[in-house]
A = this chain, B = another copy of it.
Amino acid sequence: MSSMSRPDGRAADELRAISITPGYLDHAEGSALIVQGSTRVLCAASIEDRIPGWLRGQQSGWVTAEYAMLPRATHTRTARARAQGRDVGRSQEIQRLIGRSLRAVTDLGALGERSITVDCDVIQADGGTRTAAITGAYVALYQALRWAQRAATEAGEEDPFPEFPLREAVAAVSVGIVTGASENRMLLDLCYEEDSEAGADFNIVATESGRLVEVQGTAEGSTYTRNQLDAVLDLAMQGIAELISAQKTAIAALA
């Protein structure tokens, strides 16, 4: 990769083209297909009227996520067996991240004794699947909660939520530091080719009001400075603002 340009011609601080299709599935209470460049993730939110045992009696609900990849989401086929072996740790790490990100903006008390599971299945992978999953999962979760309200209204029951349980939007983006011959470059929203060349990559999750939910800055065979971390965060916050705007457009289309 030339140090001058990105594989798809984007500027260093430019997101990939993004599209969010809410209500992509017929059966799920909430769903969204998020396409970010060549990355496509299908998010499906399922509501159940029961909670995990350890929450019982606490007047609180729960939001969790699952993450997986279809075998041919990747450039070469990934055997399904790997998902139950070597890659299970990666998947669990990612799904815990998605779950935490959603819970950070959810008023679990307002949910009542309900559990919501958001399945994030990667249809096609080209970098940034976990961050796209978070951004899409928020839309699926939003739709599922609206569905519950509408279903109650149609059944002549009262609104299941004293207050709408989502406090604000949450979205995520990646940033990478690519070490070049003459300079290090910070790139927003890495595609696969960039991700595999980055000496350090960062996944940042933040809310509409600009607060941080998660910062994961990972160097592989490399290190980075505190000044670089600051620059990374600047870039990420700008990308997240754009992603939240795309979420709002998708949600508006639902009504």
Contacts and interface: CB of A to CB of B under 8 A. Distances in A.
Interface stretch (A11-19, A20-28, A131-139, A154-162): A20-28
Interface in A111-151: 117, 119, 121, 123-124, 126
B216 A216 contact: yes
A194 interface: no
A215 B136 CA distance: 25
Interface string A209-230: 0011111111111111110010
The complex is assembled from copies of this chain, and their number is 6
Interface of A: 25-28, 31, 38, 42, 44, 46, 48, 66, 68, 70-77, 80, 84, 88-93, 95-96, 100, 103-104, 108, 117, 119, 121, 123-124, 126, 207, 211-226, 229, 233
Contacts of A220: 100, 103-104
- In the A-B complex, the 6 residue pairs with the closest CB atoms: A89-B92, A44-B72, A211-B223, A46-B77, A215-B217, A93-B93
A25 B124 contact: yes
B224 A211 contact: yes
Contacts of A233: 226, 229
A157 to B, nearest CB: 20
Contacts of A70: 42, 44, 119, 121
